[in-house]
Structure formats: C-alpha cells, structure tokens
C-alpha cells in the first residue's frame, strides 16, 4: 500500500486528516515561537499544545542563548465489539534562540497557559557611554 493511500485511510475522521496534514510542517520546523520586546522585557512565546510543562519541557539558559526542549507522548485506544485500535504519537522538539548579553539569568521566568509557553527575560539597559570629555593637560 502506498504512503498516500495509507495517509488517506478511511478509518480517519476528516478532522484527524487535517491535523495530520499540518502536523508534518510543525515537526519539520521544530517549535513555533514568537519573539518580541515589551518595554525592557524580552518575551518568547512557544506553541506547545497538549503537553505537561512540568514533565515534558526543559528550558535552559546558556551563554547568549535560550533553549526550549519539549517531548510529546500521546496514546489513544478504541475498543469496540470485536475490534481494538491503538494509536500513539510521540516526538521531541527543540528550539534555540539567541539572547542579548545583558539578560540576567536569575530574572528569567516561564509560565504555561492554554498550550502556550511564555518565557520573560528582563533586559537591563546598557550603560550609555558618556559624551566625550576633554581632559586638560597641565605643564609641570
């Protein structure tokens, strides 16, 4: 049986088929993220639906980077008279993003709500170099 025929298996609902179509794009690209600056805070939002953030997600800060690792495991079982169907999906995803040098590790926080992981990292303002100041030379 060809992969295309297997993909269009008539036991799948139309919704499952649509989800499966878009699933490949997400798996190929890793974790989808949105990165923006709100005032003096770097905000990174990552789409991670259907996971337990306490067990399945690891956030690491390194020298100049933020790394988000996630693992998804899902299993469904369907028992009918005279038939049994079991299906599982799993995968690991990782996304590594550059961080400004001024981010203080102790100030970084993360939260998870409605399938979206949000990491907030305050960015201290860089010390602005003072304007040039002429130093007079004295003769001795």
What average pLDDT is seen over the chain? 76
As separate numbers, helices (DSSP H) first and strands (DSSP E) second, the chain gives: 3, 7
Domain spanning 32-122: CATH 2.40.50.140? no
What pLDDT shows up at residue 15?
Answer: 55
Domain map of the chain by residue range?
A: 1-30, 32-122
What pTM was estimated for this model as a whole? 0.61
Distance CA 75, CA 17 (A): 17
- pLDDT, residue 112, reads 93
Low-confidence spans in the chain with pLDDT less than 70? 1-29, 126-135, 137-140
pLDDT at position 137 = 65
Beta strands in 3-115, from DSSP E residues, in sequence order: 33-38, 41-47, 57-62, 65-80, 83-98, 109-113
Cα 68 to Cα 9: distance, rounded to the nearest angstrom: 34
What is the side-by-side order of every strand in the sheet holding 65-80?
A: 57-62, 65-80, 83-98
Residues in the chain: 140
Report the Cα 46 to chain-centroid distance in Å: 4
């Amino acid at each position: 049986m060809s992969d295309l025929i297997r993909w269009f298996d008539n036991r799948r609902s139309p919704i499952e088929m649509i989800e499966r179509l878009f699933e490949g794009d997400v798996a190929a690209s890793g974790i989808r993220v949105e990165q923006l600056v709100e005032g003096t805070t770097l905000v990174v939002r990552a789409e991670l639906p259907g996971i337990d953030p306490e067990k399945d997600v690891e956030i690491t800060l390194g020298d100049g980077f933020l790394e988000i690792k996630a693992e998804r495991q899902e299993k469904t079982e369907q028992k009918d008279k005279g038939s049994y169907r079991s299906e599982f999906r799993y995968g690991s995803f990782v996304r590594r993003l550059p961080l400004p040098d001024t981010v203080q590790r102790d100030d970084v926080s993360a939260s998870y709500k409605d399938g979206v992981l949000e990491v907030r990292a305050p960015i201290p303002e860089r010390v602005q170099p003072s304007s040039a100041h002429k130093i007079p030379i004295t003769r001795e």
